[in-house]
Amino acid sequence: MQTIKIDGITRVEGHGRITIQLDDEGMVEDAHLHVLQFRGFEKFCEGRPFYEMPSLTARICGICPISHLLAGAKAADAIMGLRIPETAEMLRRVVHLAQITQSHALSFFHLSSPDFLMGWDSNPAERNVLGLAAKHPDVAMDGIRLRKWGQEVIDLLGGRRIHTPWIVPGGVSQPLSVEHRDEILKGLPGALSIATRTLEFFRHMMEKLQDEVLTFGNFPSLFMATGRKDGNLCLYGSRRKHEGWLRFGDADGNILADNIHPRDYHQYIGEAVDEASYMKAPYYKPTGYPLGVYRVGPAARLNLARQCGTPLADEALNEFRRNYGNVTLSSFHNHYARLIEIVFAIERMQTILEQPAVLDKDVRAEAKANEAEGVGIIEAPRGTLIHDYRVDSNGMMISANLIVATAHNTLAMNRGLVQVARKYISGHEVTEGMLNRMEGLIRAFDPCLSCATHADGRMALEVEVLHPDGSLAGPAVRR
Amino acid sequence: MTKARIATLWLDGCSGCHMSFLDLDERLVEIAPLIDLVYSPVVDAKVFPENVDLTLVEGALANEEDIEKILKVRANTKLLVAFGDCAVTGNVPAMRNTFTVEEVLKRGYEDNATCNPGAPTKEVPKLERKVIPLHELVKVDLFIPGCPPKADVIFYVVSEILAGRMPDMSTRCRFGN
């Protein structure tokens, strides 16, 4: 008998548990992720004014509050039935790109890079960002500074780093000053050079990570992301230009469904309850549950994009595609895709900030509730985020449905866990490094379980190995 | 020199307080040699250790596992800090207290589900009837309000405690901001 318990998955954003089912020969039969927290935003927003929703739902997640602020603001824009000023949209894009930068930097440097740089099997007491600072100070400082820069840009725009009240229904609350614009632009080349040198070093490191590419969630599935008219990488999704609509593609690069208006998302996305997790399992409705597996996030976005749309990021994407094809099926490539997106984000910020219109003072449109329902969709750092609000004639919330990036990946994460478990677990001896790889699979998705059960979440990972009859197989407590 | 044994715990919150902790930026590297971060979502310790000098607890108490954890933390920590508004007051997570647990679960797992409706019951911790702040259950030694507390405030608190002084929070932070 053997029980494995990882009591607290670490270096991910959330709380959860994994169970692994073994067959009679001790081979892995199945594996499952359980998310353990629930908060209930969809219910307790009831009766509150819709314009509170961006600020309220920001508290779903302290890592990517900007995502919820923007999805909430876009849903509110739809309820008001208005077009926000062009400058407001430019500023929302900039703050979003800053968030992509800081969140991806956190995922890559603070949370995941200790596994690559110090080794999956290295001393767990040192395998973290502080250990990284001691062993690889240059990389750690690059990570800390890149994340810091992203956070500072958010602060310069929104007056604070976390849970800014600046993003509001109808636009943003304050225009951008010349001084702040210049300060952002001043720091931009430094951030870009960190991003490009990290991309270069990770590109070389990929040669040593081919096992991970092959096993960390490498299988055919569908992919989902929002799209732009020109087919390029879409992160914010302009309501003004009727962009940011949903797109599904398959493993061969075919587009299965395109230009799905945000309000029609539920025709394509179903939500199944997993009786053993507070995180629901969305599925592609035309295929059904549980076969309708699709993935979201950085790799899925690049799979579905024609190009990024900025020079350095496009160069990096082309290089990536030369090596791995136009559609990558490996979720481990999310790390690589994250670095490409950081380069893109910084380049794009520069082009937006260099336009004089970014300083325009007209940054907010006002209206009361004119529509009964509003859906706001944005590409959060981890993937597509959907906020769907229904209001009464006074604009008070009747109900909300929120589908967050991490949840879309539920079915894929479970499948990836099986794949990693089959590769690294055989029989009875289970090492700490093996369990760390299970966590590594989860880290590749950069899940935010805090978001995933909006609801709540933290995901502590506990792994339990079960015999076919469901009894626990053997103790190997992870320390 | 003995390093201070510091832990951080994330309960029913959004992780924003932990992100504000990471917003120490370069100061993280500055304090790293002075502390042993023995338990935290950002390091790989899986079991809450004994003899911890300082634990920053983010989040309110919302389910049976939160209760188990905070009791364990209290028993093994000299100085327990309610870190941020959710830990101090219950804040946003406690907004569900105006509804019953059944109503809240129904919205998430019946109204907003298209397949297998019904609240999860296997493997997941049972929700408490009411979400409560830390001090309703355990003794709290220091309160840091803020949603989240600013990085400068966190740095002040950690620095004072490392210097053997009790921080004076009276003028340094306020709720919400």
Which chain A residue shows the shortest CA-CA distance from B17?
A62
To the nearest whole angstrom, how far is the Cα of B6 from the nearest Cα of chain A? 13
Which chain B residue shows the shortest CA-CA distance from A479?
B46
Q: Is A163 within 8 Å of chain B by CB? A: yes
Query: Could you identify the residue written with the tokens 């309960």?
Result: B11
To the nearest whole angstrom, how far is the Cα of B5 from the nearest Cα of chain A? 13
B19 vs A401: CB contact, 8 Å cut-off?
no
Give the per-residue pLDDT at B148: 96
Q: Which two tokens stand for residue A208?
A: 């040593």
- Confidence class for position A307, pLDDT limits 50, 70, 90: very high
pLDDT above 80 for B162: yes
Across-strand partners of A374? A389
| CB-neighbour burial class of residue A359 (10 A; exposed 0-12, middle 13-18, buried 19+) | middle
Q: At what angle do helices A334-353 and A86-105 cross, to 10 degrees?
A: 150
Q: Are A466 and A19 in contact (CB under 8 A)?
A: yes
Pick B32's closest partner by Cβ from A125, A130, A160. Answer: A130
Pick A36's closest partner by Cβ from B41, B111, B124. Answer: B124
In total, the C-beta contacts within 8 angstroms joining chain A to chain B are: 218
B19 vs A62: CB contact, 8 Å cut-off?
yes
- Confidence class for position A25, pLDDT limits 50, 70, 90: confident
Which residues of A fall within a CB distance of 8 Å from B106?
43
**Phi/psi at B8 (nearest 5 deg)?**
-130, 145
CA dist., res. A264 & res. A11, Å (int): 35
Q: Is B129 within 8 Å of chain A by CB? A: no
DSSP-derived letter for residue A431 is -
pLDDT above 90 for B14: yes
Which residues of A fall within a CB distance of 8 Å from B112?
42, 271, 280, 401
Check residues B67 and B176 and name the one with the higher pLDDT: B67
Give the per-residue pLDDT at A473: 52
Q: Is B123 within 8 Å of chain A by CB? A: yes
Across the range A423-450, mean pLDDT stands at 82
Across the range A273-291, mean pLDDT stands at 94
Pairing of strands A167-168, A171-172: antiparallel
Distance, CA of A232 to chain centre: 18
A40 vs B96: CB contact, 8 Å cut-off?
yes
Pick B108's closest partner by Cβ from A140, A274, A455. Answer: A455
DSSP-derived letter for residue A218 is B
CA dist., res. A148 & res. A101, Å (int): 10
| CB-neighbour burial class of residue B162 (10 A; exposed 0-12, middle 13-18, buried 19+) | middle
Q: Nearest-CA neighbor of A121 among A438, A460, A374, A433? A: A433
Give the per-residue pLDDT at A467: 55
pLDDT above 60 for A47: yes
Question: What percent of chain A is modeled with pLDDT above 90?
Answer: 78
Q: At what angle do helices A178-205 and A334-353 cross, to 10 degrees?
A: 150
User: Which residues numbered 226-265 in A keep a CB inside 8 Å of some CB on B?
Assistant: none
CB-hemisphere CA count at 13 Å for A95?
35
Q: Which amino acid is at B92?
A: V
Neighbour tally for B159: CB within 10 Å: 15
Q: Are A176 and A359 in contact (CB under 8 A)?
A: yes
Q: Is B49 within 8 Å of chain A by CB? A: no
Mutate which: B23, B44, B70, B174, vs A, most A CBs within 10 A? B44
B62 vs A39: CB contact, 8 Å cut-off?
yes
Q: Nearest-CA neighbor of B126 among B59, B63, B68? A: B63
CA dist., res. B40 & res. B158, Å (int): 15
CA dist., res. B66 & res. B17, Å (int): 17
Pick B123's closest partner by Cβ from A144, A277, A283. Answer: A277
A277 vs B20: CB contact, 8 Å cut-off?
no
First to last CA, chain B: 36
As a whole number, the mean pLDDT across chain A is: 91
Give the per-residue pLDDT at A475: 40
Pairing of strands A269-272, A281-284: antiparallel
Question: What percent of chain A is modeled with pLDDT above 70?
Answer: 91
Mind listing the pLDDT tens digit for each residue in A389-427?
A: 999 999 999 999 999 999 999 999 999 999 999 898 876
- Confidence class for position A6, pLDDT limits 50, 70, 90: low
Pick B123's closest partner by Cβ from A17, A144, A479. Answer: A17
Mind listing the pLDDT tens digit for each residue in B64-102?
A: 999 999 999 999 999 999 999 999 999 999 999 999 999
To the nearest whole angstrom, how far is the Cα of B146 from the nearest Cα of chain A? 11
Give the per-residue pLDDT at A468: 52
Q: Is B117 within 8 Å of chain A by CB? A: yes
Give the per-residue pLDDT at A464: 59
Q: Which two tokens stand for residue A168?
A: 């509001």
Mind listing the pLDDT tens digit for each residue in A143-178?
A: 999 999 999 999 999 999 999 999 999 999 999 999
Q: Where are the beta strands (DSSP E) in B68-118?
A: 77-83
Q: Which two tokens stand for residue A295?
A: 């993935």
To the nearest whole angstrom, how far is the Cα of B176 from the nearest Cα of chain A? 10
Across the range A341-359, mean pLDDT stands at 98
Q: Which two tokens stand for residue A33?
A: 């992720």
CA dist., res. A479 & res. A125, Å (int): 8
Give the per-residue pLDDT at B38: 94
Category of B163 on φ-ψ map: left (φ > 0), alpha (ψ -120 to 50) or beta: alpha
CA dist., res. A292 & res. A289, Å (int): 6
C-alpha distance from residue A24 to each of A27, A470, A474 (Å)? 7, 12, 14
Q: Is B148 within 8 Å of chain A by CB? A: yes
Mind listing the pLDDT tens digit for each residue in A450-465?
A: 665 544 333 444 555 6
pLDDT above 90 for B123: no
In which element (H, E) is residue A419 found? helix A410-424
Mutate which: B9, B12, B19, B27, vs A, most A CBs within 10 A? B19
Which chain A residue shows the shortest CA-CA distance from B25?
A144
Give the per-residue pLDDT at B173: 78
A133 vs B32: CB contact, 8 Å cut-off?
yes
Q: Is B153 within 8 Å of chain A by CB? A: no
Which chain A residue shows the shortest CA-CA distance from B43?
A128
Q: Is A141 within 8 Å of chain B by CB? A: yes
DSSP-derived letter for residue A150 is H
Angle CA(B154)–CA(B20)–CA(A343) in degrees, nearest 5?
Answer: 145
Check residues A259 and A431 and name the one with the higher pLDDT: A259
A271 vs B44: CB contact, 8 Å cut-off?
no
pLDDT above 80 for A283: yes
Q: Is B113 within 8 Å of chain A by CB? A: yes
Mind listing the pLDDT tens digit for each residue in A185-243?
A: 999 999 999 999 999 999 999 999 999 999 999 999 999 999 999 999 999 999 999 99
Give the per-residue pLDDT at A455: 40
In total, chain B counts a number of residues equal to 177
A280 vs B108: CB contact, 8 Å cut-off?
yes
In which element (H, E) is residue A52 found? none
